[in-house]
Structure 1
Amino acid sequence: MVSECTGLQKEGGLSFSHGQSRSFVNVEGMEDQGKGTNPNPSSYSLQADLVPSFVSDEEAKLIFETGKNLRIFRAHRPEHPLSETEAWGIKAPQLEWKFDWAHMKSVVEKANIYEKNLVAAIKQHGKRGTEAIRLTSETQTCAADHAENLVWADDNVQKRYIEDLAMEFDQSPLPSRTLPDELHDIVLLSLSPSPSPGTTIFAPPFSLVSALSFSPILHTQARLLNAALLRHFFRSCNFRHHLELQHRYHLFGDGVFATRLSSALFSPDLETAERHRGILKTGGSMGLRLGVRKTWPPASSELRLALMGVIGDTYFASTRRDHNENQPNRKRELPGGLSFSIRELSDAEIETIMDPDGLHALDFLRLQYAPPKPLDAIITPASLQKYDTIFRFLLRLLRVHFVTTHLVRPHPLRNTHRARTQRPNTSPTITRFTLEAHHVVSALLVHFSTSGVTEPWTALSARLDAIERRLAHEDESGQYGTHVTEGPDALGALHAAMLDTVLGALLLRGRQARARDALEALLDCVLAFAKFSQWQEHGDSGTVQQSGADAEIEADARYKGFRAKLSLFLDACKELSEKKGRGAVDPTWLAGAARARVSGEGGMIERLILALEMSEYYGLPVA
C-alpha cells in the first residue's frame, strides 16, 4: 500500500481509492484517480486511526504528503520521470522489511542508486522539454555500472549475497591491541552465537525497524518530488505573481487601486451611479458617493458602474506579465477571475449594512478570486477566507480615513447652496474633535498597513526569494533536490503563518474580541461625529440646525464619548500587550533580520499604543 501511495509501484486499488480499509488515506469526491482527473488537494485526508502503531506520526505524514503531491504533479506533468518512472527505464526499489544492519545498509544503497538514475532522467527531461523519452545510453551505462550493487535484482545474486554476509558474521573478530581487554571481551560476548538458532542480538531495536527499512527510499522519493513540484509552482504556474496579486488587492498593497477604490466609493465629486427619472448621465466617472447619498444599499447595476475598471485598469497598467497583451483581438482576463462580488451575509449582518452612516455599510463588498490548479494547494479556501476578513477590515478603515481627511480639509457638497452661504463652524470643541480623530485614524491606518501588513508580507517574500535562490543554485551545481527540501505543504504553512501574523496585528483573531469591539465602537463614533459636523456646517433636508449653544453642548458630549471609547481601546491593547506569548503567533517562520522587524503580536500592539499616545495624552482626564 505504501509503495502504491508514494509512486514506487503501480496502483492496485489499495492506496488512494474509496472504501479500502487497508489504506489510511481517504479521498473524497474522486472516483477515477490517475485517469485524466484533476485532483483537489482538499480531497485528500489522513485517517490517523488507521495508521499502524509501528508507523510514527512523522512517517505517516511523509507517506500521505508524498502520495498527495504525486497525484497533483501527475495531473499537470504526466510526462515527467517522477510521474512515470518505468516509461523512463527506471525501476523503483521495492519496500521490504529488513531486520539487521547489513541489510539496512543495502536499503540506503538502493535509495542512492534510484536517486542517481532518477536525477539523470530529470535532467535529460529538462534538456528535451516536455517530450517523453527513454533513458539515454549514458544513463543506462550509469545504471549498468551499479547493477552489481543491486543485490535484489536477481534471486541468485540475492542468495549469494546473504550467504557471503552470513559467513562474514560467523567469523571471529580480528584481534585488536588498541582495545582494552574488558571491552574486547564484551564485544566478543555480544557477537557470540546465540543459543536460539537464527537469532542475534546485534540488530537494531525492533521499534526502529520500519523507519530504517523504509525511510531512505521514502525520503528520496519525497525530496525529489518536492524539488520538481516547487520548480513547477515557481516557474510554470507563476506562483509569486498570483501571491503578489493577493497583496496588491486583498491587502491594499497597490496604492493606485486603494486610491481609485476610495474615490469610487466615497468621493462626492463623482457623478452618482443612481438612476433618477428624467436625468441623463453625462458619461463621466461615476461613484457610489457613500456619505452624501440617502438611499442604501446600492443596486447591483450601480455597483457595476461605479467599480468598472477599478481592478482591471490598475492591473493591466502596471503588470508586465499580461500574456494577452500582444493579442488585441482577445479579451484580456484577470488571473483567477479576480473581480468584485457580493458577500453572503446573515440576516443580522444584512441589518447592519442598511445604515449608510454605519461602519458596516460596505460589508457586502468583497473580492472574488479562484486560484488555478495546482496553486490551490497553497492558496487554499481557508487562506482566501482570511484574505476576505482582512479586506473587509481595511475597507472599513479606508472609509473612516477618507471621512476624517475631509473633515480636516472640508469638501464642499455639490448642489448645496448652504455650503456657499453659511459660515464654517468655528466651534473649538468640533475643531479639537476633528484634529484628534484625524490623528487617531491616520495613526491606525499607518500602523496597520505597515507593521500589520507590509512587514509580514516582506518577510514572507524574503523566505520565498531564498527558496528561489536555492533552486537556482541547485540547477547551476547539478545537485537536484539537495538544497531545497520544502514541499507544497511547507509553502502553505509559510503562507498561513503570514496570514495569521497579519490577523493578529490587525486585532482580527478570536481572542482579541475586546480590543476589536472597542476599535469598532471608536470608528463608529468618528463616523457619527462626521455626520453631526456635516449637519452643523451644511444642514440637511428634514433636519433643523441647532443653536450655537445646543450644538456646542452636543459636540462636547460627543467629544467626551470619543475620548472614553479611545481610552477603552487603549486599555484593551495594553492588556493584550501584557500577554505576550500567550496564544500569539510564533514568529519563528521568519528568517534573520525579518524576525527582528516582526517582533510578534505583542510587540506590534506595543508599537500601536506608542503611535497613538506617545506622551500618554489620552490617559489624562478631559479638560
Structure 2
Amino acid sequence: MWGDLEVDSEGFIVESGALDPIGPQFFIPQLLDAPQNPILDTLKRRPFSLDFRIDGDGLANTHLAPLKPASKARLEVASVQRRKTASWDTLCLLGATAVGSPFISEQDQQTFVSIRHHVTPRLRDPFIDIIHVSEEQLMQSLRSTVLGSSSTLHVWDPLGERFVLRGVHTGNEGILIIDGKDHSIGQSSIQLFLTIGTLLHRLDDFVVVLRRRYAAQGPTVNALSYELSSILRYLRNCLSTSSADTLSSLRMRFVPYYDALDALAQLCSREESRMPSDYPVFDASPRIVLANIYQQLDRHVEQHSLRLVQAMVAHMVSVVSRDLIEQTCHSVGYGKQLLSSYGHENLVASDQSLLVGISEDGGDVPNDDPDDADSSDSGADPTPLPPFFPPELIEGLDAARKSLKLLKAAQADHPILAEAETYPSIRWLWRDDQVLAAWSGVNARSPDAKGGVLPTLVSDDTVDSALAAFHVFDLEPGTGTEHLTHDKSQVSLNDLEDFIASFPNNLPSLTPTLPQLCSLVFRPLVEHTSRLSNTLLSLLLSPTSHLHIPTHLRLLRSYLLLTSHGYKSRLLGALFSDSDDCKETSEVQIFLSRPTPTSKQSESEETRIWAVGLASTLLQRDTWPPVGTDLSFLLRTVIVDSLELRMDTDSENTDQTSRSRRRIMEEAEFRLGFAIRDLPADTGREKWLNPLTIEALDFLYMDYKPPHPLDVIITPDVLSKYQRVFAFLLRLLRVQCAIQAAFRMMRRDTLFPTLTPSNKLLLHCRFVMQSFVSAVSEYAYDTVIGGNFDPFLATLTPDIDPTIAGFADIFALSRVHSGLLDDILSALLLRSGQRNVGDLLRHALEYVLEFAVLVGQLKRGGSKEYEAAPLLADLHARFLAKMAVLVKVLKGLSDKGRLSGSTVDVLALKQPLRGVQCLHDLLVRLDLGDWWQKN
C-alpha cells in the first residue's frame, strides 16, 4: 500500500499533488548495512542524541531516528508504560491514537494489518482474485452460508460439495480479505462458518439420498432419515437464533454446533475432508446402521464430548432402534400388539424350520440320508441384531421365538401369553430417575416423555378401546382437535429439544457405561425370553400333559429300541423262528455261494435252502421280500396287541397322570407303524433280496409320528437314528433265532456221525458263536441302550429342575437327546466313521448265520458229511480270523476312549458309559482268554 509513495526522513509522505499529505502512524528505522547487535548496542550506547536518558533502572532508551517534540513526549509516556522492557524490534509510532507499546501484536487491528502488509507486501498474481469486504458485510453473508445456503459471497459447488467464493474467475484462486484483517486472519475467522455450512449441506443431501434410494430398506433407515432431518432442523434453529456483535464472538457461539455437526458427519461418512468420490457405499442393514450409531455414542461418552453431542446421538439411538426393538419384543410375545400389528406371519420360525435335528453320521444300516450330514437350524432371524444387544438375549432370542410358537401349539391359553401384555415397554433410559425406577423394578414413565420415547398423538388409554377413534365426536365443537392440525415434525422437534434439555451431563451412576445401561434396558426382555423357554420345557415335562416328553421317549425306546418284552416277543413270533423242525418251515429257491478251502474260486449250485431263523409265514409265497397285506396285518396286530397290554396295566389308575398316559398310548396306535423302505434293486447284488443273508429284513423299518410340538425333539433326523438301531437289532434277533435253532438241531441228533473231528468242531463252533451272539446282545441291550437311555430319562423326572439338569430350553433337550442317539450309534459301531469296524462286527454275525444255515442243511439232509466238513472248517477259520481282527480293533478304540486303565474307577463312580467308552464292556464280554488265537 505504501510501497509506491515517497516518504521523507521523518516518515511523512512527500506532497505530490493538491491533496493534503497523509502520513503513516508508524515507521521502522532502516538498519545499517553492517553486522549489528541491536540489543547490546542499545544497552551500551552512550548519550549522543537528542533523545537520550536513563530511566529509574538505568536502562538506556534510544530511538534510531529523530522525532518531533510531540512524538518525543508520546514516546516518553510509552517508555514508562513498557515497564522497563527494552527490545531491538522497536516500532516508532506517530499517530495520536496509537497504543503506547512498541510491540506489533499490541497495536490496534488496523495498525497491525498495515504493518504486516508493509513488511510482507502481497505480490500481484493474475491467477489470484482478491475480494475485499467489511466485517458487517461478511457477517451478513455468513449468516446464510452457515445455514447451508448460498450467499452474496459464497456459492455451493456441487462437484466438490463445498462453498467457494462467488465471482472468482474460472481456474483462479479466490482470496477474501476483511477490512482491518489480513488474509490469514480473515480465512481463519470464517473457516468455521464455511465448515458448518458445508456439513449442513452435505447432511441434507445425505438425507435426500436415504429417502430416494433406501426408503424400501425398512423402517430403520426411514427412522434414520427422519431423525437426521429433525436434528438438522434443530441445529438450524439454534444457528439462526444465535446473535453476536463481532465475528469472533459469533464464532465462539457456533463452536458447540460445529462439534455436533462434525459428529453427525463422521457417522454418515460426510466429513469435510472427504471428497465426494471418496464417500463409502452406505450399508442400509439395520444391524450396521444401529451398530455405527451406538459406536459413535460410546466413543463420545468415553471421550466426554459436549453434552449437546452426546444428547443428539443418544436421541438418535433411541429413535432409530425403536422399530427393531419393537419387532424383537413382538417376535417373542412381549407387548400388546403381538397379533394385531405383526401377527403370526412375522414370527420368524416356521413349522418346518422347527424340525431341527442334530445328526452326525450313520453306519452301514440303510438310511434315507446316506451322507448323514449334520442338519443346521434353518429358522434363523432374518434381521441380525446389532452388537449392543446383550449376548444372553442374542443367544436365547431364536429359541424364545420358537418356544412361543410351540407354546401356543401346546397350550394356546397359557397365562404367560396374557401376562406379556402387562410387561414394561423396552425403552432407552438416560436420566437418573428412570434408571433408578428400572433398577428397582418399578415401571415408571414420566409424563413429559423425555426418556427417549417419542410422544404419541393419541394417549395410551384410548388405544385400549375399539371405539377410541371416535372419541372426538363426544367433545364440544372446536375442542379436542388440536392434535389433528398439529405438525408432526414440530412434535418431533419439540421432543428433541426437551430431550437435549433434560439430558444429563453424565450417564447415571447406577449404569456408568453404555454396556451396563444396555443390560438394564433389555433386562425385562431377557427375563421374558428365559421365562418363555422354561415355561414350555416345564409344560412338556409335566406328567399331567398328553405331551409328556418322557412318556413319548419311553414309547420310542420300547418299540424302536425293542426294550418292551411284550412287544419284542410278539415281534419275534411274527418275523422269526428258532424251531428245529424243518417241516414246519419253508424252503426257498436261492443261489448260495459255497467257497471251498482248497480253491480260491467259488462254485454255485441251485438247491433248496432252509432260511434258518425266519418265520414260515414270511416264505409262504416263495418271493422275497414278502410284501403284501398279510405282512401288514401281521405287524399291525403286533403293535395293537402290545399297546393294549400296556393300557390294561394303567386302567386301574384314574388320576390325571394315568389319564394322560392312556391318551398317549391310545394315540400311539396311529403314530406307530411299520413301513417298507425304498431300497435299490437294479444291480442284481442286493443282499436284502436274499433271505439267507443278515440284511434280509433291511427293507422293513418302523416309523413314529410325534405330536406337535414334540416334533422339535423327535425330529426326522433323530428318528433316522432310531431306525438305524432298529435295523441293527432286527439283524441281531435274526442271528439269535438262527443260532438257537442250530442248538436245538444239534441237541437231538449227531450231524457228523462218522466224522468225529468234524462233530467236535461243530460243537465248538456252536459254543463260541452262541457265546459271541449272547455277548453282543447283552451288550446292546444292557450296556448301550440301558446304560445310556435310562440315565437320560432319569434327568427328566418332575423332581429334577430342568435348568439344573442342563436343559435351558426344549432345544437344549433336543440336542441332548440327539447326542444320546449318537452315543448309542457309536457304541454299536454304526457311525460312518466306524464303518470299517462295523463291517467286522457285521461279518462276524454273518458267519454265525452261515453256520446256522449249514447246520440246517445237515439237519434236513441237503448236505452230506463229506461236503459239509470242509465248509465247516473253512467257516471256523474265517470266524476266528475275523474275531482276532475285531478284538484288536476294539482294544484300539477302547484305548482311544481313555478307559483301558480307568474302567473300574468309572464304574465305581456310577458314571454311565457313553459312546466308545462302552466298547470296553464289549471287549470284556468277548475276551475269554484269547480263544480265537489258541484254536
TM > 0.5:
yes
Q: CA deviation at 1:248?
A: 0.7
Cα distance in 2 for residues equivalent to 1:97 and 1:594: 55
Q: Give the structure, 1 or 2, with the largest relative contact order (CA under 8 Å, sep 6 or more).
A: 1
Does residue 1:428 correspond to 2:760, yes or no? Answer: yes
Q: CA deviation at 1:402?
A: 1.2
1:180-579 map, 5 Å: 198-200=505-507, 203-234=511-542, 235-236=544-545, 237-267=547-577, 268=579, 287-288=615-616, 295-319=623-647, 320-321=649-650, 334-335=668-669, 337-347=671-681, 351-410=686-745, 427-465=759-797, 468-470=798-800, 486-540=808-862, 545-548=863-866, 550-579=867-896
The structure that is helix-richer by fraction is: 1
| Residues 292-337 of structure 1: per-residue CA shift (max 9 Å, x gap) | 9964211322312543421211221123457999xxxxx9653552
| Residues 125-180 of structure 1: per-residue CA shift (max 9 Å, x gap) | xxxxxxxxxxxxxxxxxxxxxxxx3212x425988xxxxxxxxxxxxxxxxxxxxx
- Asked whether the 8 Å contact 1:359–1:396 carries over to 2, the reply is yes
SS at match of 2:423: coil
Task: Tell me whether 334-343 or 251-260 shows the greater mean CA deviation.
Answer: 334-343
- Asked whether the 8 Å contact 1:338–1:369 carries over to 2, the reply is yes
Change (3 A) 1:321 1:366: farther
Change (3 A) 1:56 1:356: farther
Change (3 A) 1:204 1:509: farther
Q: Name the structure 2 match of 1:175.
A: none
Task: Tell me whether 8-17 or 66-75 shows the greater mean CA deviation.
Answer: 8-17
- Asked whether the 8 Å contact 1:288–1:302 carries over to 2, the reply is no
Change (3 A) 1:199 1:315: same
Q: Name the structure 1 match of 2:396.
A: 62
Q: Name the structure 2 match of 1:107.
A: 438
Cα distance in 1 for residues equivalent to 2:889 and 2:805: 45
| Residues 48-78 of structure 1: per-residue CA shift (max 9 Å, x gap) | 8833233465422311111111122123322
| Residues 561-596 of structure 1: per-residue CA shift (max 9 Å, x gap) | 0001111211221221122279xxxxxxxxx99983
* Percent of residue pairs identical: 25
Q: CA deviation at 1:613?
A: 0.8
Cα distance in 1 for residues equivalent to 2:507 and 2:667: 69
Cα distance in 1 for residues equivalent to 2:434 and 2:715: 43
Change (3 A) 1:421 1:439: closer
Cα distance in 2 for residues equivalent to 1:334 and 1:608: 34
Change (3 A) 1:303 1:551: same
Change (3 A) 1:403 1:205: farther
| Residues 326-384 of structure 1: per-residue CA shift (max 9 Å, x gap) | xxxxx965355212221232346992211111111000111121001121122222211
Q: CA deviation at 1:552?
A: 2.2
- Asked whether the 8 Å contact 1:273–1:288 carries over to 2, the reply is yes
- Asked whether the 8 Å contact 1:422–1:537 carries over to 2, the reply is no
Cα distance in 1 for residues equivalent to 2:845 and 2:433: 71
Q: CA deviation at 1:273?
A: 10
- Structure 1: segments with no counterpart, 5+ residues: 31-38, 111-148, 160-195, 276-285, 326-330, 414-418, 475-480, 583-591
Change (3 A) 1:529 1:460: same
Q: Could you tell me which amino acid in structure 1 is paired with residue 912 of structure 2?
A: V
Q: CA deviation at 1:271?
A: 7.1
Q: Name the structure 1 match of 2:423.
A: 92
Q: CA deviation at 1:464?
A: 0.7
Cα distance in 2 for residues equivalent to 1:209 and 1:529: 75
Q: Name the structure 2 match of 1:33.
A: none
Cα distance in 1 for residues equivalent to 2:907 and 2:439: 38
Match 2:920 to one of 595, 606, 616 = 606
Does residue 1:8 correspond to 2:334, yes or no? Answer: yes
Q: CA deviation at 1:84?
A: 2.7
| Residues 404-446 of structure 1: per-residue CA shift (max 9 Å, x gap) | 1222222899xxxxx8999698611111111110000100000
Q: Name the structure 1 match of 2:415.
A: 81
- Asked whether the 8 Å contact 1:227–1:484 carries over to 2, the reply is no
1:30-179 map, 5 Å: 45-47=379-381, 50-55=384-389, 58-85=392-419, 91-98=422-429, 103-104=434-435, 106-110=437-441, 149-152=442-445, 154-156=446-448
- Asked whether the 8 Å contact 1:264–1:288 carries over to 2, the reply is no
SS at match of 1:261: helix
- Asked whether the 8 Å contact 1:378–1:495 carries over to 2, the reply is yes
TM-score (norm 1): 0.68
Cα distance in 1 for residues equivalent to 2:761 and 2:888: 24
Q: Could you tell me which amino acid in structure 2 is paired with residue 95 of structure 1?
A: I
Cα distance in 2 for residues equivalent to 1:569 and 1:220: 54
SS at match of 2:629: helix
SS at match of 2:379: strand
Change (3 A) 1:485 1:345: closer
Cα distance in 2 for residues equivalent to 1:28 and 1:332: 25
- Asked whether the 8 Å contact 2:397–2:529 carries over to 1, the reply is no
- Asked whether the 8 Å contact 2:698–2:727 carries over to 1, the reply is yes
User: CA RMSD, aligned part only?
Assistant: 4.1
- Asked whether the 8 Å contact 1:341–1:365 carries over to 2, the reply is yes
SS at match of 2:415: coil
Cα distance in 1 for residues equivalent to 2:631 and 2:724: 21
- Asked whether the 8 Å contact 1:77–1:83 carries over to 2, the reply is no
Q: CA deviation at 1:457?
A: 1.3
Cα distance in 2 for residues equivalent to 1:489 and 1:108: 31
- Asked whether the 8 Å contact 1:400–1:527 carries over to 2, the reply is yes
Q: Name the structure 2 match of 1:185.
A: none
Cα distance in 2 for residues equivalent to 1:403 and 1:506: 21
- Asked whether the 8 Å contact 2:428–2:521 carries over to 1, the reply is yes
Cα distance in 1 for residues equivalent to 2:774 and 2:702: 25
Match 2:930 to one of 610, 616, 621 = 616
SS at match of 1:85: helix
Paired residues in the alignment total 486
Q: CA deviation at 1:44?
A: 6.3
| Residues 182-216 of structure 1: per-residue CA shift (max 9 Å, x gap) | xxxxxxxxxxxxxx982359544434543442134
Cα distance in 1 for residues equivalent to 2:822 and 2:417: 35
Structure 1 or 2, whichever has the larger Rg, is: 2
TM-score (norm 2): 0.47
| Residues 235-255 of structure 1: per-residue CA shift (max 9 Å, x gap) | 222332211110111111112
Q: CA deviation at 1:229?
A: 4.5
